[in-house]
């Protein structure tokens, strides 16, 4: 079935009976802080293409790769899709028939999500008067429950430029089994949706592609567009330069780490081991390091590339402690990416074996114990598992998330590192190689960064992403991810369009089977952000070069800047002011 056939009937939501649909209630803002109220007045700038008539132009200039044969076989209707750029057509904005569009927030929260929904709503009201936006509540499971509510302008008002996903909530469920896909198609069809916007990370956008293909196969007219969301910063590449939420989260964590640094220097008696959220990639830890200048910042991708063992990491940290002690300094800050544990030599193999074991036999032994697991592991994995502290080994056996991933937020890697460094220091003391003081404190900064008031960048970027997603649907596009690029220019000059979801995919082993997934964009060891860190490491390790970024700025000369990572990647290291 061709896309043109599926898309026949666009705008048929006009005149539908909406009496049975609940309307999202209008939130009372009486309890809002003065800053929250002030943020309601912020109006993000739009890309100028939305000021008049526009069209979707096929555009493969970014060089997105074509999916390999296995991906193409799984997504036959999407595999040949082109990227598109929205171009001005000349003349005033055209008013078109009303549409009915659904939106679902999938996965963990990220600052700016409400502005994506605001962008969707405002585009529909501006270009398709009389349209309806339906929010599926509590994530993808809301689609299966047909739990949708109308998002009106009045309901949207109190959520503009606010943190969180609480206007409709989020969830981590997947729609993947044949029965679930059929139910999703039935619900979307019964609601007469013209389009569905999936706001999520790599796994959620993979799910968006699966839904897009299934809807085409089933003759459902709804198109599906994804929006890149994750604070981890690992959903990017080509014309998707950054995922939303990364900017705000890094600013929140940088403020906290900067505060810790000042405290550490003031007391001169603690080494602070700080684990930072970021499931796999080390982008957050790297950005926070560039912002704050810690004594050490571990980078998971470097650890894997050079096969740096846990013992070697402990020795490196102990070397820094000893060298600083000779300079009369007894404090420091060590940044640890949340996903480090999966990148340690042999640890990835152990985790993979445990994941497959739990997927296959987890129900058989209920809450697994080390004694249950050890006989089922390969000799090398069993040896490593036996070496780990009991509490840490137990954390590795925790239930996986719905996508089959280790729940690294529940693994206290900072505590593990503190223990192995203490052991290394003790051995040096015993052998007479170190005689100074060493005390360590552990911290985990994670959920604090997900729902802050979005920075001006995230508020503006997300509003444009919402407009772009709705525009793509209105032009009959499906199986694309909304893309906003040219971020080194003023927002009015940003380029907007879409990237084929299948162009970002590869086959990966999940839950014991090969599955199509959008690949995570890890830290490149030859990339400018990492090279900037590497050049500064010796001085930061030896001296106190602490940098305190302070809280997010919403006005003044620093308000419309971006992360140092983005500046390095798209503007040759020069500061970006949008």
- The catalytic residue among 59, 194, 232, 458 is 232
The pairing of strands 132-136 and 148-150 is antiparallel
Nearest CA-CA partner of 460 in 182, 44, 5, 3: 44
363: number of Cβ within 10 Å = 8
Number of residues that this document lists for the chain: 578
Phi-psi region of 79 (alpha: psi -120 to 50; beta: other; left: phi over 0): alpha
H/E element, 274: strand 271-276
Tokens for 540? Answer: 């930061």
Task: For residue 271, say whether it is annotated as part of any ligand binding site.
Answer: no
**CA pseudo-torsion sign 153, 169, 443, 275:** negative
The DSSP annotation for 132-173 comes to EEEEETTTHHHHHTT-EEE--HHHHGGGTT-SSSTTT--B--
* Rg of the chain on CA atoms, in Å: 25
Task: For residue 20, say whether it is annotated as part of any ligand binding site.
Answer: no
Nearest CA-CA partner of 424 in 317, 346, 325: 317
DSSP H helices, 327-430, are 347-361, 370-373, 379-387, 390-396, 413-430
Task: For residue 85, say whether it is annotated as part of any ligand binding site.
Answer: no
Contacts of 420 (CB under 8 A, 6+ apart): 310, 311, 313, 314
Among all chains, which residue has been given the structure tokens 């398709």?
128
Task: For residue 278, say whether it is annotated as part of any ligand binding site.
Answer: yes
Tokens for 500? Answer: 């084929």
Contacts of 360 (CB under 8 A, 6+ apart): 512
Task: For residue 449, say whether it is annotated as part of any ligand binding site.
Answer: yes
Task: Report yes or no: 7 and 90 within 8 Å, Cβ to Cβ.
Answer: no
Task: For residue 220, say whether it is annotated as part of any ligand binding site.
Answer: no
Is residue 348 flagged as an active site residue? no
Nearest CA-CA partner of 558 in 291, 261, 335: 291
The CA distance from 554 to 507, in Å, is 42
Tokens for 539? Answer: 């001085």
Side-chain half-sphere exposure of 497, counting CA atoms within 13 A: 24
The CA distance from 517 to 18, in Å, is 36
Task: Report yes or no: 443 and 260 within 8 Å, Cβ to Cβ.
Answer: yes
398: number of Cβ within 10 Å = 16
Task: For residue 64, say whether it is annotated as part of any ligand binding site.
Answer: no
Nearest CA-CA partner of 13 in 216, 152, 189, 208: 189
The CA distance from 333 to 259, in Å, is 11
Task: For residue 279, say whether it is annotated as part of any ligand binding site.
Answer: yes
Task: For residue 317, say whether it is annotated as part of any ligand binding site.
Answer: no
Task: For residue 338, say whether it is annotated as part of any ligand binding site.
Answer: yes
Task: For residue 245, say whether it is annotated as part of any ligand binding site.
Answer: no
Beta bridge partners of 172: none
Task: For residue 425, say whether it is annotated as part of any ligand binding site.
Answer: no
The pairing of strands 296-297 and 332-337 is parallel
Beta bridge partners of 22: 149
Tokens for 94? Answer: 């055209």
Task: For residue 269, say whether it is annotated as part of any ligand binding site.
Answer: yes
**CA pseudo-torsion sign 124, 129, 134, 135:** positive
The CA distance from 247 to 445, in Å, is 15
Catalytic residues: 232
Annotated binding site: 108, 202, 230-232, 269-270, 277-279, 338, 447-450
Annotated binding site for diphosphate: 108
Annotated binding site for substrate: 230-232, 269-270, 277-279, 338, 447-450
Annotated binding site for Mg(2+): 202
């Amino acid at each position: 079935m061709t896309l043109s056939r599926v898309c026949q009937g666009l705008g048929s939501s006009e005149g539908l009976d909406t009496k049975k649909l609940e309307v999202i209630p209008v939130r009372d803002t009486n309890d809002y802080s003065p800053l929250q109220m002030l943020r309601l007045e912020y109006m993000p700038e739009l890309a100028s293409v939305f000021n008049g008539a526009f069209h979707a132009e096929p555009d493969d200039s970014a060089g997105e790769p074509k999916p390999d044969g296995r991906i193409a076989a799984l997504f036959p209707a999407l595999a040949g899709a082109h990227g598109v750029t929205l171009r001005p057509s000349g003349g005033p904005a055209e008013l078109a028939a009303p549409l009915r569009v659904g939106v679902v927030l999938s996965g963990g929260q990220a600052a700016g999500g409400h502005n994506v929904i605001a962008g969707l709503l405002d585009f529909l009201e501006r270009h398709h008067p009389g349209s309806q936006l339906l929010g599926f509540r509590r994530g993808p499971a809301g689609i299966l429950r047909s739990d949708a509510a109308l998002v009106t302008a009045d309901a949207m008002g109190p959520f503009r430029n606010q943190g969180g996903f609480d206007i409709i909530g989020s969830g981590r469920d997947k729609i993947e089994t044949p029965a679930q896909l059929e139910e999703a198609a039935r619900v979307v069809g019964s609601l007469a949706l013209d389009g569905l916007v999936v706001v999520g990370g790599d796994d959620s956008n993979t799910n968006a592609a699966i839904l897009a293909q299934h809807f085409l196969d089933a003759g459902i007219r709804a198109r599906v567009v994804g929006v890149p969301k994750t604070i981890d910063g690992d959903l990017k590449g080509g014309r998707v330069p950054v995922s939303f939420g990364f900017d705000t989260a890094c600013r929140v964590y940088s403020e906290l780490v900067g505060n810790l640094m000042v405290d550490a220097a003031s007391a001169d008696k603690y080494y602070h081991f700080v684990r930072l959220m970021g499931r796999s990639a080390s982008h957050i830890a790297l950005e926070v390091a560039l912002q704050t200048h810690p004594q050490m910042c571990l980078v998971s991708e470097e650890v894997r590339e050079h096969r740096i063992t846990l013992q070697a990491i402990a020795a490196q940290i102990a070397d820094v402690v000893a060298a600083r002690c000779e300079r009369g300094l007894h404090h420091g800050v060590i940044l640890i990416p949340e996903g480090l544990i999966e990148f340690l030599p042999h640890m990835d193999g152990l985790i993979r074996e445990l994941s497959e074991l739990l997927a296959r036999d987890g129900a058989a032994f209920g809450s697994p114990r080390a004694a249950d697991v050890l006989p089922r592991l390969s000799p090398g994995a069993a040896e490593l598992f036996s070496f780990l502290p009991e509490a840490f080994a137990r954390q590795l056996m925790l239930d996986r998330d719905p996508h089959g991933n280790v729940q690294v937020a529940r693994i206290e890697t900072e505590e593990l590192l503190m223990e192995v460094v203490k052991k290394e220091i003790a051995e040096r003391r015993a052998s007479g190689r170190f005689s100074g003081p060493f005390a360590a404190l552990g911290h985990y900064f994670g959920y604090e960064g997900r729902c802050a008031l979005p920075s001006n960048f995230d508020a503006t970027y997300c509003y444009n992403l919402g407009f772009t997603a709705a525009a793509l649907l209105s032009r009959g596009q499906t199986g694309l991810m909304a893309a906003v690029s040219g971020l080194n220019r003023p927002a009015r000059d940003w380029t907007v369009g879409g990237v084929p979801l299948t162009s970002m995919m590869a086959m990966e082993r999940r839950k014991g089977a090969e599955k199509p997934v959008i690949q995570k964009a890890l830290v490149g060891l030859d990339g400018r952000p990492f090279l900037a860190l590497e050049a500064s490491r010796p001085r930061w390790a030896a001296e106190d070069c602490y940098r305190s970024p302070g809280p997010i700025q919403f006005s003044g000369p620093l308000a419309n800047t971006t992360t140092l990572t983005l500046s390095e990647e798209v503007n040759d290291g020069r500061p970006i002011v949008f």
